[in-house]
Amino acid sequence: MDHEELTAKLRTGTPPAPGNLVLLEGFLNTSHSEMGFDDFGTTDSTESWLRGVGLWTESKKITMAQAQKIIDFRSDLRLWILEKDHIQPLNHLATAITFQAEFNSEGDIQFVPTGDACDRVLGALIGMVSQSQQGGTWSRFKCCELPTCGWAYYDSTRSRTKRWCSMKTCGSRHKAREYYKRNR
């Protein structure tokens, strides 16, 4: 599936994240309490979403425990993006995932996740974070700082200082709250 096809299936910011990072952006944007949706609300819907983007290729059905592990990873990853010191839950989850090194004819080494299907999904997402960090795009990947939002987006601004997914909604709400506090 190419970048455009994948982007069309996902909820992303404008512009969407580049390369495989768009899949991570879409993964984080599978739930939004304020807008009232959660693509991972059931094990069937979780599996359906993961299959739709090519992350779940296993013939077996996803279990409730596996779906919960994926949901926990989504939450913990979002918190880590917002608060860099929120690392313990991610480290705990990552210790259970194993990787296998594979060499290719172009001289690159890839680390391919192994284990059960759930670990391969989480390993693929962790690999996307790592690739983005190595490629220098990770610092532009953010989540909206408005506590009721948390929407993931790619900061394409020159200054890399964008704090909200949208200035029209979340940025305006933040500014209105700050104005109200100052003028109480």
**Which pLDDT does position 53 carry in this prediction?**
95
Query: What is the β-pairing status of strands 37-38 and 98-103?
Result: unpaired
**Which pLDDT does position 65 carry in this prediction?**
96
In DSSP notation, 63-118 reads: PHHHHHHHHHHHHHHHHHHH-TT--HHHHHHHTT-EEEEEE-TTS-EEEEEESSHH
Q: Are 118 and 62 in contact (CB under 8 A)?
A: yes
In DSSP notation, 31-57 reads: EETTTTEETTSSHHHHHHHHHHTTS--
Q: Are 45 and 55 in contact (CB under 8 A)?
A: no
Helix (H) or strand (E) holding 138: none
pTM for this structure?
0.87
Which single residue is written with the structure tokens 């990853």? Answer: 77
Q: Which residues contact 110 (CB under 8 A, 6 or more apart)?
A: 101, 102, 104
So what's the architecture of 8-182 in CATH?
Orthogonal Bundle (1.10)
Q: How far apart are CA 77 and CA 86, in angstroms?
A: 9
**Which pLDDT does position 57 carry in this prediction?**
92
Indicate the DSSP class of residue 167: I
Q: How far apart are CA 64 and CA 84, in angstroms?
A: 29
For residue 109, what are the β-bridge partners?
103
* 3-state secondary structure at position 132: helix
Q: pLDDT by residue for the chain (184 residues), tens digit each?
A: 777 888 888 988 888 999 889 999 999 999 988 788 999 999 999 999 999 999 999 899 999 999 999 999 999 999 999 998 889 999 998 898 999 999 999 988 888 999 899 999 999 999 999 999 999 999 999 999 888 888 999 999 999 888 888 877 787 776 777 777 788 7
